[in-house]
Amino acid sequence: GDSVTQMEGPVTLSEEAFLTINCTYTATGYPSLFWYVQYPGEGLQLLLKATKADDKGSNKGFEATYRKETTSFHLEKGSVQVSDSAVYFCALSGGGNNRKLIWGLGTSLAVNP
Amino acid sequence: GAVVSQHPSRVICKSGTSVKIECRSLDFQATTMFWYRQFPKKSLMLMATSNEGSKATYEQGVEKDKFLINHASLTLSTLTVTSAHPEDSSFYICSARVPGVSEQYFGPGTRLTVT
């Protein structure tokens, strides 16, 4: 079945460092891909998405490109801030009417000043 | 837009009692809502998919008689944890899907503690 594999954390960076969180997927068909973020003590928020191959999702300085050839959707940010400290989840939307989300295990990011 | 609320945000109940959690889509009609459980430092576990006006579809291993889900309207779904036990203590999160759009919008979650 469909699955998402996400790099394990925790990831600790200094402010203004470059961030990459790897995400690869296995899916039949053409899923939509998402990154969700969960800040401490809060619920999940959609960070960005891409719905077809070569699409680039971007938001708040974060970017991810839907790469069908490598089945990847890596999250990147050029210069992280302390406020980016959170848990990041990669997910794909499967087929069917309900479009269940298939989740990665989450990557915890801590950014130090 | 696409705001989802949950109530209560925190609840403490005694073993053996039941507790109801509400999930509302505030500015859109959600034909499909999802209920998740999140364990500490773990990913989300999908419990069930709730479609308005029909029975919920439960994931394997989730007891439907223990976790009662009702989706009575296009803006409200409820999860009732019946005969709660301490092992049911967890963070319960709902989400709603906007018709015609692939992403889900999440509520802020409900922290349930069973004593």
Give the model confidence (pLDDT) of A26-79 as tens digits: 998 889 999 999 998 788 999 999 999 999 999 999 999 999 999 999 999 999
> What residues are paired with B11 via a beta bridge?
B112
Nearest CA in chain A to B44: A103
| Cα–Cα distance measured from residue A25 to residue B13, given in angstroms and rounded to the nearest whole number | 40
Mean pLDDT (whole number) for B20-34: 92
Contact predicate A76/A62, CB 8 Å: yes
Q: Is pLDDT of B32 > 70? A: yes
Q: What is residue B1's predicted lDDT score, i.e. its pLDDT?
A: 63
Which segment of A92-101, B13-22, B105-114 scores lowest on mean pLDDT? A92-101
* pLDDT confidence tier of residue A96, bands split at 50, 70 and 90: low
In chain B, residues with a C-beta closer than 8 Å to the C-beta of A105 are 42-43
**Phi, psi (degrees; rounded to nearest 5) at B48:** -165, 155
CB atoms A43 and B42 under 8 Å: no
Structure tokens at B71: 């989706």
Structure tokens at B85: 């036990």
* pLDDT confidence tier of residue A95, bands split at 50, 70 and 90: low
**Phi, psi (degrees; rounded to nearest 5) at B81:** -90, 115
| Residue A98, CA distances (Å) to A7, B52, B57, B95 in order | 27, 12, 10, 12
